Structure 1
Amino acid sequence: MGRRFWPIISIFCLVTAGCAGSETVLRKQVEMEGTIEQLTRQEKALDARIAELSRELRDLQQRMKGTEADVDAIRPGLDQLKASNDALYQRLAEQQPSSPGGEVHPQRVEAQADGTVAHPVAVAAAEKGGQEAYARAFAVYSQGNYPRAIEAFEAFVRAEPQSEFAPNALYWAGECYYAQKLYDSALKSFQRVVSEYPKARKVPDAMLKAGFSLIGLKDPVRARGELQSLVEKYPKSPAAVKAKEKLGHL
């Protein structure tokens, strides 16, 4: 083969090798694009999850702020509660007659001069101040003793209806009923918060749980109305966020 053909052969070899290399590069490019697309989908899913967790975190922070009054009420009362609890029950025991079997009933109600009935916790509230009585009721609720907590919260409201903690006490009484699936009683407690203490911070939460109670009572029409009213009156509240979620499933 003449020397003059060598450049042509060289070019042919380079072109052939280039074609084979282009196919490999193209295949690698397709594979890379598939990987990038998969990573993009995963990134979007991760962003969505992060956004969801951020919303949940903000909701939790708002709920924690909403219970500041409860925490502030409990903190100073717990130390006093620890010191005075035994003395309180001892005093109640001395004031009440024993049953035929000799058992003392510290939860006995006492008739007043005007014919009304007062619970011992209400008496304690009048003697020692509403804050400690509220803290004591909330402590019972925290222990999961819902019937006793209801008695204590409602007794507190009767004794201290003008207290800043009265709407909170009504709300937590409603929560106690709700936890026991006593939805009708729960609804009444939550509605009392709204009607008797319309400016209280617990009103949005009470409206939310009133809606949930109506759902428990199999009354979705009224439940929707209650939740929609909450969203309209308190659109920026954490309770409204929960209401919107629930409305989407009614």
Structure 2
Amino acid sequence: MKKRLIIFSAGLLALTGCVKQEEVDLLQKELIQIKKELSEIKEDQNRIKEDISLLSKRVDNVSKVASQNSLEIQKIKSFGEIKPEKGKSEEIEREGEEKVKFPEKPEDLYKYGLDAYYKGKIEEAREAFSLFVKKFRDSELYDNALFWLGQTYYTEGRYDTALKIFSRLVNECMTGQISDCNKLPTAMLKEGYSLMKLGEVDKAKEVFKKILKEFPDTEEAEIAQKKLEVME
């Protein structure tokens, strides 16, 4: 009887010892897993620190660009970045067959179109500039009229048509079809803007870089440089 009790006790102790060893092994595995997770957390923290540092640099760059935006805003305003007054262009469309009587002299026609544009009468301005481009090809104001014709489409968000007109102006200037082309750098800038609006970012970059190369000392070049800095 005593032998059986001793054997039973020994077996129980052996079994108890075995269970404890299994628990130790399990704890060791859990400890290894915890260490691994801690290591991954540290790596994540390091990546987060790097991201924060990078974002801080970007914020600084954006702040620098923002602090210089007054020049660009003034320039854009000079380009006519305004929206038409509500009801003005609609009223012209509702009139249907009624046609506006435009001035006959080129200077007066150009001024008429410009005044109409700044008053928000975009459709009327477009008709005036379109008529000017057709009738007064040899006028010194031809490139200006062609530019503003493109601008009427740009203002309405019709960027594909605006791009065609700005590109036409750039091409005619670059190929010598227009002798005195003072609107060339501005037209190139708006060409780049139109490409950006259409999602053609790489092509827009090429245009802005070309402005820097061809017209480095102009306000258009300053604006192009800022655009490139933001796009990089």
Give the TM-score taking structure 2 as reference length.
Answer: 0.56
| Deviation of the 1:57 alpha carbon | 6.0
- Quickly say closer, same or farther: Cα 1:104–1:243, change in 2 above 3 A: closer
Look up the equivalent residue of 1:226 and give its one-letter code. V
CA distance in 2, matches of 1:240, 1:58: 11
- Matching residue within 83, 98, 110 for 1:105: 98
Within the alignment, does 1:227 sit opposite 2:212 as a pair?
no
Mapping for residues 8-87 of structure 1, pairs under 5 Å: 56=70, 60=74
Q: Percent identity?
A: 30
CA distance in 1, matches of 2:123, 2:72: 33
CA distance in 2, matches of 1:210, 1:169: 16
- Matching residue within 126, 131, 144 for 1:155: 131
Q: Is the 8 A contact 2:113 2:125 kept in 1?
A: yes
Q: Post-superposition, which runs of at least 4 consecutive aligned residues in structure 1 deviate over 3 A?
A: 55-60
Alignment length (residue pairs): 148
Which structure would you say has the larger Rg? 2
Q: Is the 8 A contact 2:208 2:224 kept in 1?
A: yes
Mapping for residues 160-199 of structure 1, pairs under 5 Å: 160-198=136-174, 199=180
Within the alignment, does 1:132 sit opposite 2:132 as a pair?
no
- Quickly say closer, same or farther: Cα 1:157–1:239, change in 2 above 3 A: same
CA distance in 1, matches of 2:71, 2:184: 22
- Quickly say closer, same or farther: Cα 1:175–1:105, change in 2 above 3 A: same
| Deviation of the 1:197 alpha carbon | 3.1
5+ residue gaps, structure 1, are 1-47, 68-102, 108-119
Q: Is the 8 A contact 1:59 1:238 kept in 2?
A: no
Partner residue, 1:236: 217
Within the alignment, does 1:216 sit opposite 2:209 as a pair?
no
| Deviation of the 1:140 alpha carbon | 0.7
5+ residue gaps, structure 2, are 1-62, 80-95, 175-179
Partner residue, 2:13: none
The range that moved more, 186-195 or 158-167, is 186-195
Q: Is the 8 A contact 1:214 1:222 kept in 2?
A: yes
Q: Secondary structure of the residue that 2:230 maps to in structure 1?
A: coil
| Deviation of the 1:190 alpha carbon | 1.1
- Quickly say closer, same or farther: Cα 1:57–1:207, change in 2 above 3 A: closer
Q: Is the 8 A contact 2:72 2:223 kept in 1?
A: no
Deviations 1:171-208 (A, max 9, x none): 11111111111001111121122122344111111100
CA distance in 2, matches of 1:145, 1:58: 25
Query: Pairwise CA RMSD of aligned residues?
Result: 3.1
| Deviation of the 1:56 alpha carbon | 4.3
